[in-house]
Amino acid sequence: MIGIAGAGAFGTALAVALAKGGREVRLWARDPQQIRLMHETGRNDHALPGVELPQNVSIRAEIGDICGGEALLLAMPMQALGGALDAWPQVGARQPLVACCKGVDLTTLRGPVAVIEARRPEAQAAILTGPSFAADIARGLPTALTLATSGKGEALQELLSTPTLRIYRTDDVIGAELGGALKNVVAIAAGTVIGAGLGDSARAALMTRGYAEMVRLAEALGARAETLAGLSGFGDLVLTCTSSQSRNFRFGVALGTGEAFDPRVTVEGVATARAVVELARGMGIDMPVTAMVNALALGKIALNDAIGQLMSRPLKQE
């Protein structure tokens, strides 16, 4: 049995894919009304409209019901991860704990695996990340993801792989975490460029310089550059900077056009930018794209001023 804590779009999509791959899946949801509707309709239309839940996905209201299996996937926003583990003493070390979120914790300035390890040091902690949209996974479209863990990950890799979900394994946890977190920040910047009408050439330049920032910070924190060149870094960056399915990209477009953005939609890159600006400042690392995104999201700088600052940076060798 695989337990999934979080019946949002990504948690539900993983439940569908893993169940179609022959696994027994227990999906925990917090909202009683959502649970009732899923039982009645056999779908989770709140998160993934029109996607049928396979028979081997059972919906659970008690967190203890999804614990003790072969793995527990924690599919929730990054900023909610630590609080959820604090509130769930039932979640122990009887199974690997796999973070299915991307970002940097605002309190500790650490990634998801470090947040898990701080609260469950005896458990095998891992992160599942990479270029993926929930709708694609749920529809059975081919998707490749990265599983990062410092422990032996072969069994977990096999468990989470299906005919349509290909899992690659790495022991570079920091690299995988930062790739998934920082690409959201760059995606906001890319969306801002498009929203402001600056064109695809400007977006390509922005993505390139943003990727350089990703590698710079990751290497300073002990990650390997080749990890950032893989699925969890470059692959995810390309996806989220070029598709309107990305919430971070859509948020950036709204910044660029000056339109309001739905406050109910989680945009992980906003909190990540805040955390990374603080982290980079403490390490003396220059991250102008991240700083621009943070200032724009907080309303501390006008769009034209932000663009002007980036374009007026000192000329140098690439």
183 part of the active site: yes
Rounded Cα distance, 114 and 118, in Å: 6
Beta-carbon contacts of residue 37 (< 8 Å; ≥ 6 apart): 44, 45, 46
Count other Cβ atoms within 10 Å, centred on residue 305.
Answer: 13
CA 275 → CA 272, 290, 318, distances in Å? Answer: 5, 10, 27
Q: Comparing C-alpha atoms, which of 206, 287, 278, 281 is closest to residue 240?
A: 206
Instruction: Kindly state the DSSP code that residue 246 receives in the 8-state scheme.
Output: -
Length of the chain: 318
Count other Cβ atoms within 10 Å, centred on residue 268.
Answer: 23
Bridge partners of 309? none
Q: Comparing C-alpha atoms, which of 71, 193, 180 is closest to residue 123?
A: 71
Q: What angle do CA 268, 106, 313 make, to 5 degrees?
A: 75
Q: From the candidates 152, 183, 300, 316, give the one annotated as an active-site residue.
A: 183
CB burial readout 177-186, b (16+ within 10 A) else e = bbbbbbbbbb
Q: Quick one: tokens of 312?
A: 């007026």
Rounded Cα distance, 132 and 33, in Å: 28
The catalytic site residues sit at 183
